[in-house]
Amino acid sequence: MISAGDFRNGVTFEMDGNVVQVIEFQHVKPGKGAAFVRTKFKNVITGSVVERSFNPTEKFPTAFVERRDMQYSYNDGDLYYFMDMETYEQVPINASVLGDNFKFVKEEMECKILSYKGNVFGVEPPFFVELEVTETDPGFKGDTATNATKPATLETGAEVKVPLFTEQGDKIKIDTRTGEYMERA
């Protein structure tokens, strides 16, 4: 059990039959009245974010979210197959579980598979990936305006904005959390 007074960022617990994770918390001690804990938490299965205040003595059961490193193998329609690197077991995961940032993942990349009581609810790709630019317009001499960008298609099919000097065949580094170009690889 965890009490609301022990909340910290990243703590997961069960509340009203849901598994939630603390995003932000603040202990408040007003001049008049009892202290309370103001929190912002996210439902790890649905992704919805809620703000709520708790009495610091309220207790909740701790939820243990399992994070396993698995290698993305291939997809077959709506099923994406991941391989456990220790047991070599193939695990199929439905496309609805994958986030928007999965478009930057190519075969044989390691991802973190998030599950609660055996039910997979999320896939975290690596924070940074190196991908090849497969299609982009050529840059022109004199196009040196500050922070000028152009669209580029990557080897996974994802589209990102890249600087004008980027050419087809270049390897670039992408931040999968924001979907932004970082640097040349």
Q: What percentage of the chain exceeds 70 in pLDDT?
A: 96
pLDDT level of residue 81 (50, 70, 90 thresholds): very high
Can you name the CATH fold of 2-60? SH3 type barrels. (2.30.30)
Residue 43's DSSP bridge partners are: 20
- CATH 2.40.50.140, the chain: domain bounds: 66-124, 128-184
| Contact of 61 with 4, CB cutoff 8 Å | no
Q: Say what the pTM is.
A: 0.71
Q: Into which CATH architecture does domain 66-124 fall? A: Beta Barrel (2.40)
User: Which CATH code is given to the segment(s) 128-184?
Assistant: 2.40.50.140
Q: What residue has token string 């959390």?
A: 177
Q: Give the tens place of pLDDT for each residue, 30-43.
A: 888 889 999 999 88
CA-CA distance, 185 to 183, in Å (whole number)? 6
| Residue 113 zone, left/alpha/beta (φ > 0; ψ -120 to 50; rest) | beta
Tell me which of 30-34, 41-45, 139-143, 162-166 is least confident.
139-143
pLDDT level of residue 77 (50, 70, 90 thresholds): confident
- CATH 2.30.30.30, the chain: domain bounds: 2-60
Q: Give the tens place of pLDDT for each residue, 7-20.
A: 988 788 998 888 88
